[in-house]
Structure 1
Amino acid sequence: MSRIDDLMAQHCPNGVEFKTLGELLRIKNGKDHKPLGDGDIPVYGSGGIMRYVDTAAAEGPSVLIPRKGSLGNIFYVEGPFWVIDTIFRTEIDLSQVEPKFVYHQLLTMKLGEMNQAGGVPSQTQTVLNLLRIPVPPLEVQREIVRVLDQFTQLEAELEAELEAELEARRRQYEHYRGGLLAFDLEEVEAVELSEAFETRNGYTPPKSDPTNWSNGVVPWFRMEDIRENGRVLDHALQRIPEKAVKGGRLFPAGSLIFATSATIGEHALITVPFMSNQRFTAVWPKSEYADRFDKKFLYYYGFVIDEWCRNNTSTSSFASVDMSGFKRLRIPIPPIETQERIVSQLDRFDALVNDLSIGLPAELAARRKQYEYYRDKLLTFEEAAA
């Protein structure tokens, strides 16, 4: 930091000049990549590298700025590359500015929030050309880039280390969970799933009737709910009206849903009355067995059932679980005190691994925030008087 301070004091003690992007670089549109053959030259869209081709549109260094889609995804590239029409490339005036300095400056400008359209997020050359950035002397820019590159490398190394540790914790947790749930079914009471549980398939109300999809009050679960909100759910991303519920009967709160077709090997515990789509089979204890199971124990045992489903799938036309075998699965019924002890142990381990406010995920988020703070501080300049 002192090296940068010394350079600033030497070259621009009274602040630095600010210029528009239009004064520093030329913005170029991307082109269609479909006619190109395969090769080793990366093709960029607003989401990143899409494929590799045999022809280059330009040679780096360049900064790529999204035109449509993920507007905050800024890329710095060196060497040959191709861009499609969802992202701009730039030709930078190297006599005025370092390309990587421009890249770091743009990262601080929240371009993802500068949507210029009402539908798909979009950006225009006109708006980009008018953006102003500080332009300190090249020697200062190069030193800032050097420091930020070091920060970036250290942050990436730490992130990789923390993510590896987190993955190791997850594997440890899965091993521990598997051990706790590995019952000898000859030594503990067990029943076939169909004897102790009700099973019902979900369904999708006809979309030809718009009233099935308006004024919804009943949670209607899909795989997207698990992906976005986890495996213990009390609300759905989509709701349907009561009139769309077949027979007027909801699946009861405390049911498990298992993905038994399409994306197989996922499950969730639903804590409210609900419906689901046809990809799920809902499972809940029959009345005579309701007090024999802890609901959270069944949720954790669901991971054992998930594994069975993955290993007993027909893929002849459409992936689906062997439902006859599913209903014959033997489910252990250990004493309720044993179930509660297992739940308590797994709840603690689950929180340590998955809660973003605990342990390694929180450390990772804190380091990212720290890096962004120092980056923004390095790239903030006082503007010289005109």
Structure 2
Amino acid sequence: MSKHQSKIEKLIAQLCPKGVEFKELGKVCEPTSNINWQNNVGKTFQYIDLSSVDRVTHAISEVQTVDSDTAPSRAQKIVRKGDVIFGTTRPTLKRFCVIGAQYDGQICSTGFCVLRPDTSVILTDFVFHLIGSSEFCDYVEATQKGASYPAISDNEVKKFKIPLPPLAIQEEIVTILNSFTELEAELEAELEARKKQYEYYRSGLFIFDEKVREETLGDIILSLKTGLNPRKNFVLNTQDANNYYVTVREINGLNVTFFEKTDRVNDEALRLINNRSNLEVGDVLFSGTGTIGRTALVKEKPKNWNIKEGVYVIKPNQKVVDSKFLLFFLNSIIAKKQIENKIVGSPVMSIPMAELKKIKIPVPPIAEQEQIVTVLDKFDALVNDISIGLPAELKARRSQYEYYRSKLLTFPEYAK
């Protein structure tokens, strides 16, 4: 890497010692077009929706095959190999990717801004790395409009001013940054394989012979409650709101994670919510509406947070079932299949509490449950704990990439 950096420094000294020109992104991109479905009757296309683009790997994962009869109204924009597409609906979710050869001439949603770099002045991968930069993210966050459904227009995306170093410098920068993203992709693939192995092994641990009794969830818990929504009860994010208001976004796996954008409530609201939820150590949180089935464990008595309505509080009878054993079971394929069959509602889905209580759970002796938990704790750490193993290495590589991306994409602007 130092070899490439040294070469970049020499090229800068040779080609642009006084800085580089900055241009609006749209000025270095070629025009794009939309499909005329009437002229394409009988033809099929691969349709790239917003959900098709993975927010972590920035690759296209799943597409739909559509034609003039089945294409949704948003299936309009023609993409070409080398285009960079960026999701303009909820843009801070960072859905962006490069279009590969397999999707040349296919269709993407109007929820994307299609950027077609003029490769005589700017490289496709240089645009890709710029779109991922913190500077672009800050610009998008400041420019987007709408509170509940934020979006940024294509025109605003294209107004973002970018540094435009000579192509020789761009090539060296891209070589360095691509080496990070390629390594990251390899680590992601290995981690995904480990997760599948973990899922398979976890499911196997919950298969018992007929000697182990099965109980319904309702029979092995003390209570099943939920939190409280604002409505007439309280207001979110008041000036005196210093406590976290936990939604499905904040619960995942074993942990409750607070974010900068996590809503806040004041002390009175916290008291009202706790009167309903009664959170205690050992409770299992379960998302019962929207994104169903996410979990977390209450590891210590909450002092500055509580939950919204729709996040359920499962209070296990710990003489019968270990809290972690229950949590791990709820994440198993065996439990998920039962849960899926009990989901109701559209478009907002939920699993009623009465139905969740009917989920059947194997209940071996507590000592055996604890042994299973010990094994699954180790597996869970290997695939989820960012302080050890692959997750730690992946986090380190991402941090390195972000550091070098920021450093390599920063140029002084040439004053004409």
TM above 0.5, yes or no, is yes
Q: 1:348 aligns to what SS in structure 2?
A: helix
Q: Name which of 348, 358, 363 aligns with 2:378.
A: 348
2:338 aligned with 1:309: yes
Q: Measure, in 2, the Cα distance between the counterparts of 1:314 and 1:109.
A: 39
| Kept in 1: contact 2:282–2:315 (CA 8 A) | yes
Q: How does 1:72-111 map to 2 (within 5 A)?
A: 87=113, 92=118, 94=120, 97-100=121-124, 103=127, 106=130, 110-111=135-136
Unmatched 5+ stretches in structure 1: none
Q: What is aligned with 2:21?
A: 19
Q: How does 1:1-386 map to 2 (within 5 A)?
A: 5=7, 12=14, 15=17, 18-21=20-23, 25=27, 40=45, 70=91, 87=113, 92=118, 94=120, 97-100=121-124, 103=127, 106=130, 110-114=135-139, 116-117=142-143, 131=161, 133=163, 135-136=165-166, 140-141=168-169, 144-145=170-171, 147=172, 155-184=180-209, 186=211, 188=212, 193-202=217-226, 204-205=228-229, 207-210=231-234, 221-227=246-252, 230-233=253-256, 239=265, 241=269, 244-245=272-273, 250-260=278-288, 263-271=291-299, 272=301, 276-286=307-317, 290-304=318-332, 306-307=335-336, 309-310=338-339, 312-313=341-342, 315=344, 320=351, 323=354, 326-327=357-358, 329=360, 331-336=362-367, 338-371=368-401
| Kept in 1: contact 2:88–2:154 (CA 8 A) | yes
Q: 1:25 aligns to what SS in structure 2?
A: helix
Do the aligned partners of residues 332 and 363 (structure 1) sit closer, same or farther apart at CA in structure 2, a change above 3 Å counting?
Answer: same
Q: Measure, in 2, the Cα distance between the counterparts of 1:348 and 1:99.
A: 44
Give CA deviations for 1:314-343 in whole Å, capped at 9, x if unaligned. Answer: 54876536936834735514144x333332
Q: Please say which structure displays the higher CA radius of gyration.
A: 1
Q: Measure, in 1, the Cα distance between the counterparts of 2:194 and 2:287.
A: 26
Q: Measure, in 2, the Cα distance between the counterparts of 1:220 and 1:126.
A: 33
Do the aligned partners of residues 42 and 376 (structure 1) sit closer, same or farther apart at CA in structure 2, a change above 3 Å counting?
Answer: farther
Do the aligned partners of residues 173 and 377 (structure 1) sit closer, same or farther apart at CA in structure 2, a change above 3 Å counting?
Answer: same
| Kept in 1: contact 2:214–2:361 (CA 8 A) | yes
Q: Measure, in 1, the Cα distance between the counterparts of 2:218 and 2:194.
A: 35
| Kept in 1: contact 2:30–2:115 (CA 8 A) | yes
Give CA deviations for 1:70-116 in whole Å, capped at 9, x if unaligned. Answer: 3777776797788969848578594xx34448627845672222355
Q: Give the aligned residue type for 1:297.
A: F
Give CA deviations for 1:32-83 in whole Å, capped at 9, x if unaligned. Answer: x7997787598899x9799885675x98977778888637777767977889
| Kept in 2: contact 1:257–1:269 (CA 8 A) | yes
| Kept in 2: contact 1:29–1:85 (CA 8 A) | no
Q: Measure, in 2, the Cα distance between the counterparts of 1:102 and 1:182.
A: 51
Q: 1:296 aligns to what SS in structure 2?
A: helix
Q: 1:313 aligns to what SS in structure 2?
A: coil
| Kept in 1: contact 2:225–2:276 (CA 8 A) | no
Report the alpha carbon displacement of residue 123 of structure 1 after superposing the two structures with TM: 9.2
Q: Give the aligned residue type for 1:226.
A: I
Q: Give the aligned residue type for 2:377.
A: D
Do the aligned partners of residues 265 and 3 (structure 1) sit closer, same or farther apart at CA in structure 2, a change above 3 Å counting?
Answer: closer
Do the aligned partners of residues 12 and 347 (structure 1) sit closer, same or farther apart at CA in structure 2, a change above 3 Å counting?
Answer: same
Give CA deviations for 1:165-210 in whole Å, capped at 9, x if unaligned. Answer: 2122112222332333333352x46655444422334254461454
Q: Give the aligned residue type for 1:310.
A: I
Unmatched 5+ stretches in structure 2: 54-59, 64-71
Do the aligned partners of residues 91 and 155 (structure 1) sit closer, same or farther apart at CA in structure 2, a change above 3 Å counting?
Answer: closer
Q: Measure, in 1, the Cα distance between the counterparts of 2:205 and 2:354.
A: 26
Give CA deviations for 1:324-379 in whole Å, capped at 9, x if unaligned. Answer: 6834735514144x333332222222111111232222333344455566666766
Q: Give the aligned residue type for 2:336.
A: E
- Normalised by the size of structure 1, how large is the TM-score? 0.65
- Identity, % of aligned positions: 24
| Kept in 2: contact 1:259–1:280 (CA 8 A) | yes
Q: Give the aligned residue type for 1:198.
A: L
Q: Measure, in 1, the Cα distance between the counterparts of 2:225 and 2:315.
A: 12
Q: 1:241 aligns to what SS in structure 2?
A: helix
Q: Measure, in 2, the Cα distance between the counterparts of 1:118 and 1:282.
A: 36
Q: Measure, in 2, the Cα distance between the counterparts of 1:160 and 1:348.
A: 24
Do the aligned partners of residues 169 and 26 (structure 1) sit closer, same or farther apart at CA in structure 2, a change above 3 Å counting?
Answer: closer
Q: Measure, in 1, the Cα distance between the counterparts of 2:331 and 2:152.
A: 42
| Kept in 2: contact 1:193–1:330 (CA 8 A) | yes
Q: Alignment length, in residue pairs?
A: 370
| Kept in 2: contact 1:61–1:99 (CA 8 A) | no
Q: Give the aligned residue type for 1:307.
A: K
Do the aligned partners of residues 55 and 149 (structure 1) sit closer, same or farther apart at CA in structure 2, a change above 3 Å counting?
Answer: same
